[in-house]
Structure 1
Amino acid sequence: MTLPVHAVLGELTAALDAHGTAVLVAPPGTGKTTLVPLALAEHTGGRIVVAEPRRLAARAAASRMASLLGEKVGETVGYAVRGDRKVSARTRIEVVTSGLLVRRVQSDPELSNVDIVLLDECHERHLDADLLLALLLDVRAGLREDLKLLATSATVAADRLATLLGEAPVITAHARTFPVEISYLPPVRNERVEASVARAVRVALSEGDGDVLAFLPGAGEIARTTSLLSDVDADVLPLHGRLTAARQEAALTPGPRRRVVLATAVAESSLTVPGVRAVVDSGLSRIPRVDHRRGLSGLATVRVSAAVAAQRAGRAGREAPGRVYRCWPQYEQAGLPAYPEPEIRTADLARLALELACWSTPDGAGLSWWEAPPEGPLEAGQALLHTLGALQGGKITARGRKMATLGLHPRLARALLDGAAEVGPRSAAEVVALLDAGGTHTDVEAELRRLATDQRRRTEVQRLARLVPAAPEAPDPALVVALAHPERLARRRDRDSAVYLMAGGTAAELPAGSGLGDAEWLAVAEATRDPGRAHGIIRLAARADLELALRAAPNLVSEVDEVRWSGDIVARSVRRLGAITLSERPLRDPAPELVRQALLDGLREEGPDLLSWSAGARNLRQRLAFLHLVHGEPWPDMSDDAVLAAAREWLGTARRRADLARIDTAKALRGLLPWPEAARLDELAPERIEVPSGSHVRVDYSTGEPVLAVKLQETFGWLETPRVSGVPVLLHLLSPAGRPVAVTSDLKSFWDNGYSSVRAELRGRYPKHPWPEDPVTATATRHTKRRS
């Protein structure tokens, strides 16, 4: 069968010969993963390495190429993935995972005996693939100018790739596709994703012929959907990365009966599932995410992008017209993101940081990135490596290089290395293998018992155990978990609660039925936090105790004198494991600086009113605030924040709340007055203003502007509104009873326009007081009319 990529093989080999680099854009099903490496090997006569993002895809690609040659895998075509390698002296095409090739480049930067590296499915933007691309570009720039690089992508977003590869030529292979009819089957109310997909699969089986390929986010959903489809007249087969090679092969091989293949994202691009006529898409995918603030990392279920949805749909139209059933409302389609978010933006970057340190560029500077690692997450990864002893002074240590060779996340590498010495290689390897792959039970020990007979897991345990020195076996799963995640050691908050506080400061809840409900201490291996939940959820943990916690995380233990504000000064000596309080006792004579800081915390928490403010002190603060507003510096800011900032100098020997009330705030404020400007305080912001009656009336500055509340009769003859620092005073003119009858900052306008109506209203109510027709020429008075 001739595939679309045949038409561009000549152009592709010519581009590599001329430029040394090229980009091949070819949708799934065009033959780019299998036919291109075979053509390159035939054209060059050299050795080809193909980098795939997933182990399943690597094995499948090698198997397909070998079958096309009529050979067994391991002859002309072989593969190498973690824990499994089939190659021979005859092998000229080797398919490897991106992560494994990163390790090879680290150990042999010149990639001896390799002529071409093909980077498959670059559009998926896996973290290892992005790193591999950056390292290979560095190798080609400095060590191997003759090394040819070919990057392939199933989407048209190839411009950035071409630029990175030195303005490489872009060759496009157009897929031969059949029409695909798309239907939308949104979930009914409260329907879980498994039920929604199972319902759509039944519709697909009833409306057409051929096999059905259904996309689900993870292995758990696949297992539950399989159960819901137990009665259909078809073979229901799972397809995901946790399966044995034999079970994966079964899902990729046509059978005598109609098939329903339930797959994760592994079937989106680099794998071909033959016989598919219908696709059911849950619209969900599982991606690595890390919550740096809470220290929780893991896999998050997210909506797929429009590009991924289109790629999944294309699986239905490879061999004949097909149908696609999308398990979401049609109106949501327009709101999908255009492309998936690159893993480098969302994942834990500790392993990336370790590889960069091994490459002698800890921050990745100088490398050509598709997208450079974000600074914050990379620094968090480097901080972890320092904690684990893999970095020292920003440089890789011998321990760090050993950790890198294990091919594990640095946390798991530490757990294997140190755990082997503590509990024995096999016991450590059993737990590390579980932590690497994940489990279904919450209880680590229950999960280890369940997996004891799993041959694939046993093989992985044996491989890991061979990587570390021999030592006596003394199984202790919780210790190994704690070595990997010391900050997740957790203690129950109280006797009747299922909520645990982890050493890192995050609270997480133990689900019902976990079998761990009576444990005071846990070594938590995995915890997640869903949006909207107050606590994380513990997914995998082992029973622990205080002794184990201290043994696994001695660097998290601290003993400090703690002085804090809790309505008053609370002083105690506290012993902690991270955020977990182990013991405490009252502290009788805390350090003065700690007390001072706690008092300041109290002032910040409760505000300046925690201090004692006399009327004079309040008035002085308001006057100074007015001057700062009008004149600015050097008159001091009197906002709460500014006063609290200055309060550190006022505390003196204060030791408790009651002492704060004894502070002379008026004196303290006078200490803030600027000199020599302070001599003009009464001129610029007078405390009182003399009115025409001879009274000296207090000015109110509490609103930020000068306000003078004065009886109307005392202002007769006042022609102009008084001013303070050039600001008109707001006059509150009062009745003889002291009630406001008018408010004005324009006295002349009031005499001309408002006084007559006020006079008419008040002269009958207060006949003993003067109410002259012309207030401008009248004499101001504080008294009633004189008797004749």
Structure 2
Amino acid sequence: MNLPDLPVRAVLDDVAGALAAHGTAVLVAPPGTGKTTLVPLDLMSRTEGRVVVAEPRRLAARAAAVRMAALLGEPVGETVGYSVRGDRKVSQRTRVEVVTSGLLVRRVQNDPELPGVAAVLLDECHERHLDADLLLALLLDVRGGLRDDLRLLATSATVASGRLADLLGGAPVVTAQARTFPVDTIHVPPARGERIEACVARAIHRALADGDGDVLAFLPGAGEIARVGAMLDLPEVDVLPLHGRLAPGKQDAALRPGQRRRVVLATAVAESSLTVPGVRAVVDSGQARVPRVDHRRGLPGLATVRVSAAVAEQRAGRAGREAPGRAYRCWSQHEQASLPAYPEPEIRTAELARLALELACWSTPDGAGLSWWDPPPEGPLAAGQALLRTLGALDGGTVTSRGRRMAELGLHPRLARALLDGAAEVGARHAAEVVALMDAGGTATDVETELRRLRDDRGARWHAEVRRLARLVPGGPDAPDPALVVALAHPERLARRRAPDSPVYLMAGGTAAELPAGSGLGDAEWLAVAEATRDPGRAHGVIRLAARADEELAVRAAPNLVSEHDDVSWNGDVVARRVRRLGAIVLRDRPLRDPDPARVREALLTGLRTGDVLTWTAEADRLRARLAFLHGVLGGPWPAVDDEALWSRVDEWLEPELSRARRRADLARVDTAAALRRLLPWPEAGRLDELAPDRIEVPSGGRFRVDYSTGRPVLAVKLQLAFGWRETPKVAGGRVPVLLHLLSPAGRPAAVTSDLESFWVNGYPAVRAELRGRYPKHAWPADPQVP
């Protein structure tokens, strides 16, 4: 076997030796050095069993197998084959098989001993895809308990390999040095108001003008690739897309040298797993699309984020593989320092229902006992388990037979549920069509419009996926209903328009999402939403893919979300209604004639706490103030009567009136003074008028009311009526002197004192002199202590 002279070739013996001695090893080698193609072929020559190579992406798996087969001068499917979802080329003669990480997870689940497999190469571990992290944990568990002879080789394009080596039991690390050429970095930031696609197109024109060779441009997704391609008017240059949704023939075209100069518009698939020949310039948008979950809105999906510094360096390095190159970065130079160092591991940010199902199938629902690069976060894992229970895949923490069937389909549990149940409702073919669309995504918002487009596009990979999925499930009656299949996958995304002519819909899960203009769905009251995303700066989510629905379909698809209950609440008065809901969506709402008295009472309690409901008469206010004074001075058993204290003892003083009341007006008629008297302590209640008298008799014989509202007893009387009092009257058993407001004959303040004996000696003479002049007809004795 004559292998090409690539950098990894120099360390093949080291890799083989490390595996022979330790059983595990880590190979660090930059992209384009041959680690994906040369190492598996070398391992094959040194072992009797099959070598399995796990790639994070289908495109990379197929391309790696094609390249290795070409090195052997054979067609794919002979010595080297591949297996990806929906496409398999292997034979009994196959010694090296390239698979996706997710597919290998399924094989390990089906037969953990991996019979006939001598070695597994886990490629591009540094990318930290969720399936790859799970696969690594499962294979380490297999090596620890079933196959200690299974050799594991993990490869990485970065030097941050210490943690990986530790996971592999202190595995040796072998490093291959790449032959690279210098790459000049040019920053081409967007102009003010310029979209990133326009900036990338401008940078591509510059890259073509600055030098020779092909241009590789990195964009976050297929949509951006299509928009940039439409902006490039290059008659002498081939513009080729490269992403996972393309048919294999179109992918191959981007990976082969061409007759003319080429511009390859690629997603992250070209960062490390693939080699695009002839590239002399890289244009980097600085963006990537990664799984994210908006937990507040409950919208899992893909988010566009800034790339990390490590990814930007990998992308730039693609320009220096064959000759000196240039890297055009679509951000300013000062932004470089603010880039994150490495990409965030997918296990920390993605929705984890599929991972939860695989762990349950492995009989370790929480992942305990497995060796993780990063363990799954508890909250998202619990959310995934809750979803699985809703779908019938878990019973408590144990996987059900239905759950195992869903896992075998190799789809997200939501899509697996839609395929299984949808096939029984609308037929296998129709269910498969909608599931394949939801899995891959579309370009139109309307599901039916997108299905028509895909049916007419005979070259779309969608057709092969539909055929594959339809073969996996038994079919029911032929009754096309795209909305029903969508709703089976996402029942909590059934949505109803909030108001007539409004583009905003309320989903059953409680999240609001807006229908974009021009969707073709603007007249629909109900939608089954397949995809909704969050956009920065928007108050609502944005509906990206949906189908027309109606209430009947919604109830049929999500009967477990339908509830009917009596809603008794406080809204300025007791409001009692019978409400039928689909999750957060109100289906029907009508008045309730005979609400539950206990719930009415609770609503009235809410009103008591939040509004001025009771009628506090002057008598009740005075009694409350007297009780508050005694509680403050004497403490128990005199009760506290502040708002919080009253509400905490409402059963003692506001019954039976509260339980008999049915509306606000009933409480407004309550005699609050009589109600408060129920809090008077016994037998101390008999001393209330002694300790906190409502009125005090003056020397002349009149009785005047004491004001306790400030927390201190205050008696306002005309000064002449106090003549004959030698000492200040006291309350609370003689503990507290009354504060006397002494008034003139006209009722105006003349003096304030709580010490009459001192006032008569020190203050009265001056007050007497003033009042005698103002009111000469009144008697102002020199000795006021004589009545």
> Are 2:547 and 1:542 aligned?
yes
**Alpha-carbon distance between aligned partners in 1 of 2:635 and 2:78, rounded to the nearest angstrom:** 84
**Alpha-carbon distance between aligned partners in 1 of 2:469 and 2:45, rounded to the nearest angstrom:** 37
| 2:244 counterpart residue number | 241
AA at the equivalent of 2:489: A
| 1:590 counterpart residue number | 595
**Alpha-carbon distance between aligned partners in 1 of 2:235 and 2:253, rounded to the nearest angstrom:** 19
- The 5 Å alignment of 1:527-676 reads 527-603=532-608, 607=610, 609-613=612-616, 644=647, 647=650, 650=654, 651-662=658-669
AA at the equivalent of 1:99: G
**Alpha-carbon distance between aligned partners in 2 of 1:543 and 1:197, rounded to the nearest angstrom:** 37
| 1:181 counterpart residue number | 184
Which string of whole-angstrom CA distances, capped at 9 and with x for unpartnered residues, describes residues 575-634 of structure 1? 222222222221111012221232344455xx2644444567668878999999999999
| 1:460 counterpart residue number | 465
AA at the equivalent of 2:564: E
| 1:97 counterpart residue number | 100
* 1:197, distance to aligned residue in structure 2 (A): 0.9
Q: Is the 8 A contact 1:608 1:644 kept in 2?
A: no
* 1:325, distance to aligned residue in structure 2 (A): 1.7
C-alpha distance 341-786 of structure 1, shift in aligned 2 (>3 A): farther
Q: Secondary structure at the match of 2:46?
A: helix
| 2:525 counterpart residue number | 520
Q: Is the 8 A contact 1:77 1:92 kept in 2?
A: yes
| 2:140 counterpart residue number | 137
Q: Is the 8 A contact 1:52 1:98 kept in 2?
A: yes
| 1:408 counterpart residue number | 411
Q: Secondary structure at the match of 1:45?
A: coil
**Alpha-carbon distance between aligned partners in 1 of 2:350 and 2:633, rounded to the nearest angstrom:** 52
**Alpha-carbon distance between aligned partners in 1 of 2:608 and 2:225, rounded to the nearest angstrom:** 56
Q: Is the 8 A contact 1:608 1:640 kept in 2?
A: no
Q: Secondary structure at the match of 2:281?
A: strand
**Alpha-carbon distance between aligned partners in 1 of 2:529 and 2:277, rounded to the nearest angstrom:** 42
Greater shift, 626-635 or 571-580, is seen at 626-635
* 1:429, distance to aligned residue in structure 2 (A): 0.8
C-alpha distance 461-39 of structure 1, shift in aligned 2 (>3 A): same
| 2:220 counterpart residue number | 217
* 1:206, distance to aligned residue in structure 2 (A): 1.6
Q: Secondary structure at the match of 2:472?
A: coil
| 1:776 counterpart residue number | none
> Are 2:358 and 1:351 aligned?
no
Which string of whole-angstrom CA distances, capped at 9 and with x for unpartnered residues, describes residues 124-146 of structure 1? 11111111111111111111111
Q: Is the 8 A contact 2:308 2:342 kept in 1?
A: yes
* 1:438, distance to aligned residue in structure 2 (A): 0.7
C-alpha distance 384-625 of structure 1, shift in aligned 2 (>3 A): farther
Equivalent residue for 1:295, pick from 282, 294, 298 = 298
- The 5 Å alignment of 1:137-216 reads 137-216=140-219
Greater shift, 441-450 or 635-644, is seen at 635-644
- The 5 Å alignment of 1:153-552 reads 153-231=156-234, 233-452=236-455, 453-455=457-459, 456-552=461-557
Over the aligned positions, Cα root-mean-square deviation in angstroms equals: 4.2
Greater shift, 614-623 or 448-457, is seen at 614-623
* 1:85, distance to aligned residue in structure 2 (A): 0.8
C-alpha distance 699-570 of structure 1, shift in aligned 2 (>3 A): closer
**Alpha-carbon distance between aligned partners in 2 of 1:517 and 1:423, rounded to the nearest angstrom:** 25
| 1:19 counterpart residue number | 22
**Alpha-carbon distance between aligned partners in 2 of 1:680 and 1:142, rounded to the nearest angstrom:** 83
* 1:38, distance to aligned residue in structure 2 (A): 1.8
Greater shift, 124-133 or 302-311, is seen at 302-311
AA at the equivalent of 2:193: N
Which string of whole-angstrom CA distances, capped at 9 and with x for unpartnered residues, describes residues 214-243 of structure 1? 111110010000000123642111111100
Q: Is the 8 A contact 2:613 2:667 kept in 1?
A: yes
**Alpha-carbon distance between aligned partners in 2 of 1:309 and 1:628, rounded to the nearest angstrom:** 72
* Overall identity of the aligned pairs, in %: 74
**Alpha-carbon distance between aligned partners in 2 of 1:62 and 1:743, rounded to the nearest angstrom:** 102
Greater shift, 178-187 or 191-200, is seen at 178-187
- Aligned residue pair count: 755
AA at the equivalent of 2:95: R
| 1:780 counterpart residue number | none
**Alpha-carbon distance between aligned partners in 1 of 2:632 and 2:9, rounded to the nearest angstrom:** 78
Q: Is the 8 A contact 1:292 1:377 kept in 2?
A: no
C-alpha distance 543-629 of structure 1, shift in aligned 2 (>3 A): farther
Q: Is the 8 A contact 2:622 2:708 kept in 1?
A: no
C-alpha distance 121-659 of structure 1, shift in aligned 2 (>3 A): farther
Q: Secondary structure at the match of 1:111?
A: coil
Q: Secondary structure at the match of 1:466?
A: helix
Q: Secondary structure at the match of 1:44?
A: coil
Which string of whole-angstrom CA distances, capped at 9 and with x for unpartnered residues, describes residues 436-474 of structure 1? 111111111111110013342211111111101143422
Q: Is the 8 A contact 1:619 1:701 kept in 2?
A: no
AA at the equivalent of 1:495: P
AA at the equivalent of 1:497: S
Greater shift, 313-322 or 734-743, is seen at 734-743
Task: List runs of 5+ in structure 2 lacking aligned partners.
Answer: 698-702, 723-729
C-alpha distance 262-674 of structure 1, shift in aligned 2 (>3 A): farther
**Alpha-carbon distance between aligned partners in 1 of 2:595 and 2:493, rounded to the nearest angstrom:** 31
Q: Is the 8 A contact 1:689 1:699 kept in 2?
A: no
Greater shift, 526-535 or 108-117, is seen at 526-535
Q: Is the 8 A contact 1:561 1:590 kept in 2?
A: yes
Equivalent residue for 2:115, pick from 112, 117, 134 = 112
Using structure 1 for the length normalisation, give the TM-score: 0.85
Using structure 2 for the length normalisation, give the TM-score: 0.85
**Alpha-carbon distance between aligned partners in 2 of 1:47 and 1:36, rounded to the nearest angstrom:** 13
**Alpha-carbon distance between aligned partners in 2 of 1:668 and 1:181, rounded to the nearest angstrom:** 87
Equivalent residue for 1:37, pick from 36, 40, 62 = 40
**Alpha-carbon distance between aligned partners in 1 of 2:213 and 2:542, rounded to the nearest angstrom:** 41
Which string of whole-angstrom CA distances, capped at 9 and with x for unpartnered residues, describes residues 191-229 of structure 1? 112111111111211222221111111100100000001
AA at the equivalent of 2:512: A
**Alpha-carbon distance between aligned partners in 2 of 1:111 and 1:643, rounded to the nearest angstrom:** 71
* 1:51, distance to aligned residue in structure 2 (A): 0.9
C-alpha distance 670-5 of structure 1, shift in aligned 2 (>3 A): farther
* 1:247, distance to aligned residue in structure 2 (A): 0.9
**Alpha-carbon distance between aligned partners in 2 of 1:325 and 1:596, rounded to the nearest angstrom:** 70
| 2:10 counterpart residue number | 7
